Structure 1
Amino acid sequence: MLHLLPRTALVVVRARRRPRLGIWEASTLPLRALPTDVDFAGHINNGQYFGLFDLGRFDLMVRAGVWDGAKRRGWLPVVQAEQIAFRRSVTLGTRFTVESRIIGLDERAVWFEQRAVVDGDVAVRAFICTRLRAKDGTPVSNEDVRDLARELGHDLAAEPVLPEWLHGWRSDIALPSARTPLPHAWGTPAPAGV
């Protein structure tokens, strides 16, 4: 994903020049499928979508002012879980948009819905569960995230309610904390719902 670093820097620079967004508003990031995005079949590689969706989240967070506020506090974003579904291929050279919005917060995470859209039609949709971590690696509470949003002038009364099914999905696929041993052995199912 090293090839995404220059593209990420470009998205951040351009986002600073684009109209400001409310934290609950959707971001639209115009892109084109580049040779570094596609696989041997000539369409965007399934794994590459997550990198492209990172760009969409950067665009939204910079334009909402959250990126600079988080950086001042020493917070860094991490992804905890993600799921994706595909309707159609996006091929080399195709212009498309990455549509990104926050769909809610749970007790620990900030959730995004993101879509790759070609000519107004959804090609790919993903749900991304994210956290912010402090410099020392400790998780930032969502109350601290809300405090930052308030400080930036965002309307917390407009905060969306996370769809209930995502709570269940996250619980079903969760792995234990990184501080808990999880030895690898095929045939021994990893504990779910931890």
Structure 2
Amino acid sequence: MHLLPRTLLVLARARRRSRLGIWEPASLPLRALPTDVDFAGHVNNGQYFGLFDLGRFDLMVRTGLWKACRDRGWLPVVQAEQIAFRRSVTLGTAFTVETRLLGLDERAMWIEHRAVVDGDLAVRAIVCGRLRAKDGTPVPNEDLRALLAELGHDLSAEPVLPEWLHEWRGRIALPSARTPMPHVWEPDAARA
């Protein structure tokens, strides 16, 4: 809940910032606040995903995608995330959240986030997400591409996603929420 006021502020400010092409990176200046840090005095590992949400909002507003999606009743949802840490971002430190759309595959959109301090990469995350319609069904990426073209974005510049992203997603994927999946710990072969 503590990110809600910050989210509203980012959404309001993004409307006044320069417009971006869909494949351009967005840079959002932030400062590590007391609500971001843990007892060790650095941004909590889980908090980075909330801060990276702010980067996605900034990117979506500045590309025109946020309003166009909201007009259609589409909302972004995250399906999978991975994160790696290089160095800590401590209380009061100014940093930027760098966000870029890596590309689209047959089902999802892939976004890279970076926390950068004084030009040095501190944290990097990869997020796999989708858009959901009002009824909860996934929005096909063909519809998203059509919307991007309607907004004037150059789809011919779409990057090719690296194969390792598809492999990673395949390894960690869970079945659809409509498929029962009872919670059972599988025996660990390493311990047997």
1:107 aligns with 2:106: yes
**5+ long unaligned stretches in structure 1:** 190-194
Letter in 1 for 2:152: G
Structure 1 partner of 2:33: 34
1:144 aligns with 2:143: yes
Aligned partners of 1:135 and 1:123: how far apart in 2? 37
Secondary structure at the residue paired with 1:17?
Answer: coil
Structure 2 partner of 1:97: 96
Structure 1 partner of 2:56: 57
Query: Residues 155-166 of structure 1 correspond to what in structure 2 (within 5 A)?
Result: 155-166=154-165
Letter in 2 for 1:14: R
1:66 aligns with 2:65: yes
Shift of 1:48: 0.2
Aligned partners of 2:97 and 2:149: how far apart in 1? 26
Deviation per residue, 1:101-132 (Å, 9 max, x gap): 00111110000011000000000000000100
Aligned partners of 2:142 and 2:181: how far apart in 1? 30
Shift of 1:188: 5.4
Q: TM-score normalized by structure 2?
A: 0.96
Secondary structure at the residue paired with 1:38?
Answer: coil
1:126 aligns with 2:149: no
| Number of matched pairs | 188
Aligned partners of 2:161 and 2:104: how far apart in 1? 6
Letter in 2 for 1:94: T
Structure 1 partner of 2:179: 180
Aligned partners of 1:155 and 1:130: how far apart in 2? 21
Point out the more displaced range, 178-187 or 70-79.
Answer: 178-187
Deviation per residue, 1:114-170 (Å, 9 max, x gap): 100000000000000010000000000001000110000000001111111000000
Shift of 1:50: 0.2
Aligned partners of 2:142 and 2:8: how far apart in 1? 29
Query: Residues 70-81 of structure 1 correspond to what in structure 2 (within 5 A)?
Result: 70-81=69-80
Shift of 1:187: 2.9
Deviation per residue, 1:49-79 (Å, 9 max, x gap): 0000000000000000000000000000100
Structure 2 partner of 1:192: none
**5+ long unaligned stretches in structure 2:** none
Letter in 2 for 1:145: L
Aligned partners of 2:108 and 2:117: how far apart in 1? 29
Letter in 2 for 1:97: T
Letter in 2 for 1:38: V
Letter in 2 for 1:42: G
Identity of aligned residues (%): 78
User: Please, what is the CA RMSD of the aligned residues?
Assistant: 0.8
